[in-house]
Amino acid sequence: MTETSDSEIVSTRQRRIAQLAKQMPEKGLTSLNQHLDLTWLREAYRRTRKDGAVGVDGLTAADYEKDLEGNLRSLLERAKSGTYWAPPVRRVHIPKGTGGETRPIGIPTLEDKVLQRAIVMLLEPIYEEDFYDCSYGFRPGRSAHDALDSLSKQTMWSGVSCLLEVDIRKFFDTLGHAHLREFLQQRIRDGVVLRLIGKWLNAGVMEAGAVTHPEAGSPQGGVVSPVLANVYLHYVLDQWFAREVQPRLKGRAYVVRYADDFVIGFTEDEDARRVMDVLPKRFGKYGLTIHPDKTRLVPFRKPEGERKEPDSGGPGTFDFLGFTHFWARSRKGNWGLRRKTAANRFTRAVRTISQWCRYHRHDPIAEQHAVLCQKLRGHAGYYGLTGNSPALARFHHEVLKVWRKWLSRRRRAWNASWDWFSQLLKRYPVPYLRVIHSVYCGVANG
């Protein structure tokens, strides 16, 4: 069986699942595990990232592939019979922000990744029929740039007067298992699928050689975690807002959500204050906490006439998905929503580049140059939005500064001149960053 034919078979089955979910809205689906066979697992393995960090068992993809068919057949049998044992995830911490905070990431074993991917392939066709358009995170065919584009259009054309910028405190650590099971059972009535999800929720976390079993949370880094998070917030926020909140508002309102990051726009200030008052109670009912300091109501009415242009980092701004949003005039003098790289994201990116240059300053310059160009292109791939050219140019300049700094240390020349560095750049040119996602083209430019 070839990869192409496996993919076609799985895609056909997923369309059937989606059609069934559409025909049976808000009803639980049974016998989903009938699709979970060797073909399904082969496709799940193909879609699984092979070069990621290893889990607690230390098993690599190269080791697993020595008997791929036999290993997948064994995995399938254990999953179906209920004898599959979900090992604890290996927890590591990565930097978050500029205040020394870290974000815990769970690293499952390779088999866990494959089986979780297989379950995600079952869940996605169902919930893609249920999820609202306001949700963009970790969904097929949707991206952070789609969320930003939707936010821009709705903010500019809806007559918004203020926005509610919301921060959920440690969402992935406080997601309630009991509530999640209750939400899942509204659409999933297959015992095999629910049992596997339950095992992953209870698998525990290994850190510094010790295993703990939290009663809440879904480890960030798990393949199935983004889908479970979307299911949770679909019921807690999206559906509740669409069915219960919006019909009671005086004006218009909209939500734009990417995973656990979201903003709510309002055309009436009174509506915004009412929602801001009730939101902590709604989330508290499901074990979630709204951060009191990072959640705020931002006046954001579109300026008119000759009003002074708002400061792009002042009180009339808000941050979302790594960008600071503010009103500014276009070249023609019209007011429009503009975005620039958020200050904390900019600082974090420069610091990351600087640390890399420090640790790799003794590598061959050609190798350093190749990696830095790749990192710059990656930065532009996300932050290269229309109107963000000044921040891109400044980032390019800061990268050159830190590279020169650490190359100077390597040369034991603490005050190496820019003339010397300019000659180096002629041999190893660093590309300028440009807009990749243009609002004028509507598509990404190469």
| Cα 87 to Cα 84: distance, rounded to the nearest angstrom | 9
DSSP of 22-86: HHSTT--B--GGGG-SHHHHHHHHHHS-SSSPP-TT---HHHHGGGHHHHHHHHHHHHHHT----
Tens-place pLDDT, residues 319-334:
999 999 999 888 888 8
Closest Cα to residue 292, out of 163, 167, 164, 162?
Answer: 167
Please tell me the predicted confidence (pLDDT) of residue 292. Answer: 87
End-to-end CA distance of the chain: 36
Q: Quick one: which H or E segment has residue 187?
A: none
Residue 443: pLDDT band (50, 70, 90) is: very low
Mean pLDDT of 213-233: 85
Phi, psi (degrees; rounded to nearest 5) at 39: -60, -45
pLDDT exceeds 50 at position 302: yes
Quickly tell me which residue has 């069986």 as its tokens: 1
Closest Cα to residue 9, out of 33, 44, 60?
Answer: 44
Please tell me the predicted confidence (pLDDT) of residue 313. Answer: 46
| Cα 408 to Cα 415: distance, rounded to the nearest angstrom | 7
Going through 280-317 in order, the beta strands assigned E by DSSP cover 296-299
Amino acid at 253: A
pLDDT-above-70 percentage for the chain: 91
Residue 440: pLDDT band (50, 70, 90) is: low
Tens-place pLDDT, residues 25-47:
989 999 999 999 999 999 999 99
Tens-place pLDDT, residues 43-57:
999 999 998 888 888
Average pLDDT score, the chain: 89
pLDDT exceeds 70 at position 161: yes
| Cα 343 to Cα 349: distance, rounded to the nearest angstrom | 10
Mean pLDDT of 403-413: 79
Tens-place pLDDT, residues 64-116:
999 999 999 999 999 999 999 988 888 877 766 555 666 777 889 999 999 99
Please tell me the predicted confidence (pLDDT) of residue 409. Answer: 83
Which residues have CB under 8 Å from 196's CB, separation 6+? Answer: 79, 84, 86, 115, 119
Tens-place pLDDT, residues 163-219:
999 999 989 888 999 999 999 999 999 999 999 999 999 888 887 777 877 777 776
Do strands 89-96 and 205-207 pair parallel, antiparallel, or not at all (unpaired)? parallel
Alpha helices in 234-307 (DSSP H): 239-240, 269-284
Please tell me the predicted confidence (pLDDT) of residue 419. Answer: 82
Please tell me the predicted confidence (pLDDT) of residue 88. Answer: 87
Residue 278: pLDDT band (50, 70, 90) is: very high
Q: Whole-prediction pTM value?
A: 0.89
Please tell me the predicted confidence (pLDDT) of residue 305. Answer: 61
Contact between 267 and 163 under an 8 Å Cβ cutoff? The reply is no
Question: Collapsing DSSP states into helix, strand and coil, what is residue 106?
Answer: strand
Tens-place pLDDT, residues 287-296:
999 998 889 9
Ranked by mean pLDDT, the top range of 14-18, 173-177, 308-312, 428-432 is: 14-18
Please tell me the predicted confidence (pLDDT) of residue 20. Answer: 96
| Cα 111 to Cα 10: distance, rounded to the nearest angstrom | 19
Contact between 200 and 213 under an 8 Å Cβ cutoff? The reply is no
pLDDT exceeds 80 at position 439: no
Cβ neighbours around 113 below 10 Å, total: 24
The Cα-based distances of 59 to 50, 119, 120, 155, 214 in angstroms read: 11, 21, 22, 48, 25
Positive or negative torsion for Cα 224, 227, 229, 231: negative
Angle at 126 between CA 244 and CA 45, to 5 degrees: 140
| Cα 218 to Cα 228: distance, rounded to the nearest angstrom | 8
Closest Cα to residue 395, out of 376, 417, 419, 423?
Answer: 376
